[in-house]
Homo-oligomer: A and B are copies of this chain.
Amino acid sequence: MQTLRVALSDRAYPVHVGAGLLQQPRLLLDTLSKPRATIVTNETVLPLYAHSVAAALQGAGVKVVTAVLPDGEEYKTAKSLDLIWETMLRARCDRQTTVIAIGGGVVGDLAGFAAATYMRGVPYVQVPTTLLAQVDSSVGGKTAINHPLGKNMIGAFYQPVSVIADIATLSSLPERELRAGLAEVIKHGLILDREFFVWLEANIERLLAREPEALTHAVSRSIAIKAGVVAIDERETGPRALLNLGHTFGHAIEAGLGFGTWLHGEAVGTGMIMAADLSCRLGRIGANDLQRVRALIAKTGLPLQGPNLGTDRYLELMSLDKKVADGRIRLVLLDEIGRAAIAESTPPEALRASLEHNVSDSTSTAATN
């Protein structure tokens, strides 16, 4: 087991990474301030992991109640949030009850926001069971729900008391979700760690084959990069925005097709190609670097082209993104592999060209994998 720390100004929390951590209930028990917990999970993860965690906690004398959500991004809504609140209120959970999120990013974001707002805040622990959640959403304290008018528009910055990333849970992950999670892993290399990107180019097949050693390295390295950024900019007023490489494009894809049609990681993968293409058009990176980005994403089996929503629609959806300031679309662009920067404005012709050159010819809306 590796333990990293996310260091924040007024508090810090541990992130444990390793295979078989859910077999060690002590890790979880040690985080509870009182023997009361609310497990938040979904219908898929409940029989796989949440049932046994609940049983282990109950065996140790913890009073546990479980809120089970339907599985899918389309349920990351105010209604699901209310289901968690109501479960906790009916069970008379108090302010010392710890919320334990067991599942992927949707479960983590919802459970974290519920914990942030239940009685104005109770402790919560993230137990991410997807690659995407392990390398991205479980660390950093961003919680949110989607609103019909925009993805992740409603939420809070609220940090967990600990994160337990059990690599063994990735064995049950559908192939498509594994690939989608790798998009965020690649992103961490692209924005801040050239050496890690090179390692990924050499080891992508081992990751796709789910070799535990390779996965542990990829998850730990990703979390270390993200934790470093979060530590210097918890509320995304500066460098944390680098973590959004590919995300403004990606959010347009997700919103344009309706949330849940493409996986978040798939949209981010294609969004990173669009961002790299735009970086190349603007002379920030060379054609060779663009080709390396495209090649690694292709090897990962992620879609290389966005759906054909129409360029105007893309721009409209991108302008609704939270990262917009004063009506200007701020994009994360590459200056080289391993170094990204925030562009306060972008020449509209280049942006249009990057969008037009990276969408499929057909108007089909399905992900290509």
Contact = CB atoms under 8 A, between A and B. Distances in A.
A147 interface: yes
Contacts of A172: none
Contacts of A142: 120
A81 to B, nearest CB: 9
A149 B119 CA distance: 12
A82 interface: yes
Contacts of A82: 78
B119 A322 contact: yes
Contacts of A9: 10
Q: Is the interface of A mostly helix, strand, loop or mixed?
A: mixed
State the oligomeric state as a number of copies: 2
A313 interface: no
Interface residues of A, number: 38
Interface stretch (A86-94, A269-277, A354-362): A86-94
A61 B250 CA distance: 34
A154 B94 contact: no
B34 A149 contact: no
A235 B121 CA distance: 9
- Looking at A34, A95, A150, A157, which has the most chain B CB atoms within 10 Å of its CB? A95
A214 to B, nearest CB: 34
B154 A90 contact: no
Given A82-B78, A89-B149, A92-B320, A157 B326 contact: no
Nearest to A323: B95
Nearest to A120: B155
A150 B90 CA distance: 10
B324 A147 contact: no
A120 B149 contact: no
13 contacts: A9-B10, A85-B147, A85-B153, A85-B154, A89-B153, A94-B326, A96-B325, A117-B155, A118-B153, A119-B153, A120-B142, A120-B144, A121-B157
9 nearest interchain CB pairs? A89-B149, A119-B322, A120-B155, A117-B154, A120-B157, A120-B156, A94-B324, A94-B325, A117-B156
